[in-house]
Structure 1
Amino acid sequence: MNNYSIGHIQAQKLVVAAIDEAQKQKLSVAISVVDLGGHLVAFTRLDGTSYSANDASRRKAVAACNFKTPTHILFQIAKNDSDMSNALWKDPHIFIFPGGFPIMDGAYCIGGIGVAGGNYIQDQSIAEAALAMI
């Protein structure tokens, strides 16, 4: 079993990659990277980002890491299963709108990244681009 989490340097690289993509899309977003325990390792908020995006980005990262599943997939599961929907939407620590991804090292989850502030398609594309750049 893997017991290590994403470190600060890797987390910062993800944040920088997400900033680059957000700027290409001319978007103001919040970007959070959490470790395996859901603790914030890196965060930034671009100028003009709404306050609510700060917490939403962190909660997306926590959800993706906790379930080792991208939040857009969790969102679809919740849409199709009322029991799962109740459980996923009522947990105040997670947010399952698209824009969160587990950070994988091979087969092991080492953290999560969450992006919030654009629409959910934009948030998802920024997080995907950040993961692809590292």
Structure 2
Amino acid sequence: MLGFISHVSADQALSYGSGIHLQQAKRVAEVAAREANRLNLRVSVAIVDTAGHLVYFEKADDTQTASVEVAIAKARSASNFRRPTKVFEDAVVGGRTSILGLPGAVPVEGGVPIVLNNRIIGAVGISGASSVEDGVIAAAAVSAIQ
């Protein structure tokens, strides 16, 4: 079963499992696109494996072009640091600006690890709406997969 991590601290981070398969990545993207359509939003969806390599990418028509790189960066951040990008956003909002110096850390909501059997197999990154909306879409994408 695929799931998501809503709040993970450094001492709670899950271990990596085998990387996400293409069909699993397509399913995550399909659910993300469905949720974005339901919310009437146009977003980019990036799925990466445990090494942060792009496995699947999809961009809705008329999505801002900047969302392409941002979605990929959010997914890589969530996979490489084994936590949602919202954790970094909350830290920066709370005054921990040193987070901004971590190479590859994206302090904007919308990147979420994908978990299978309590192991991280990759991550999804969503960009194109507000960071909160990106986070809602990312959470729906990973939690709706059975």
Q: Which residue of 2 aligns with 1:30?
A: 44
How many residues are paired up?
Answer: 130
- The alpha carbon displacement at 1:94 in A equals 4.5
Shift in CA distance, 3/25, structure 1 to aligned 2, threshold 3 Å: closer
Which residue type is aligned with residue 78 of structure 1? V
Q: Which residue of 1 aligns with 2:5?
A: none
- The alpha carbon displacement at 1:76 in A equals 1.3
- The alpha carbon displacement at 1:96 in A equals 2.5
- The alpha carbon displacement at 1:12 in A equals 0.2
After the TM superposition, which segments of 4 or more aligned residues of structure 1 sit over 4 Å from their partners? Answer: none
TM-score, scaled relative to structure 1: 0.90
SS at match of 1:98: coil
Q: Which residue of 2 aligns with 1:110?
A: 121
- Distance in 2, matches of 1:16 and 1:65, equals 19
Deviations 1:34-87 (A, max 9, x none): 0011010011000110110000000000000111111111111233323223x2
Please say if 1:82 is aligned against 2:97: yes
Shift in CA distance, 43/32, structure 1 to aligned 2, threshold 3 Å: same
- Distance in 1, matches of 2:39 and 2:66, equals 20
Unaligned runs of 5+ in 2: 1-14
Let me know the Cα RMSD of the aligned residues. Answer: 1.4
TM-score, scaled relative to structure 2: 0.83
Q: Which residue of 1 aligns with 2:4?
A: none
Which residue type is aligned with residue 124 of structure 2? I
- The alpha carbon displacement at 1:5 in A equals 0.4
Contact 2:44 2:58 in 1 (8 A): yes
Which residue type is aligned with residue 105 of structure 1? L
User: Kindly, what percent of the aligned residue pairs are identical?
Assistant: 30
SS at match of 1:95: coil
SS at match of 1:118: coil
Q: Which residue of 1 aligns with 2:57?
A: 43
